[in-house]
Amino acid sequence: MNVRHIKESGGGYFLAENESGEMGRMTYTNAGSEKFIIDHTEVAPEYEGQGVGKAMVHAAVDYARENGLKIVPLCSFARAIFVRNTDIHDVLYK
């Protein structure tokens, strides 16, 4: 699995792919210059429960750390990952 970051005007998404194509997508919206909002995570049914969503959240965490940003996890899936993984709270917007 590979997770790519695609930037778009006002936000972007993290795309999980394998040799067969798209496995999942997690979208975000910029919220000023210091944070972004993860607003939706979707994983193809055949890949559910295989860590695809978690990989996309961790790609977003890496992006936030590299760019000095904070994350607002409005998406319920992303929020659950933040609740369960205190080691990523350094990028959690409080």
Please give the pLDDT value at position 30. Answer: 98
> What is the pLDDT at residue 15?
98
CATH number at residue 23: 3.40.630.30
- Residue 69 and residue 60 in contact, taking contact as beta carbons nearer than 8 Å: no
CA dihedral 38, 44, 45, 47 (to 10 degrees): -90
Residue ranges, the chain, pLDDT below 50: none
- Residue 63's pLDDT is 98
What domain count does the chain have? 1
pTM: 0.96
pLDDT of residue 92: 98
> What is the residue range of 31's domain?
2-91
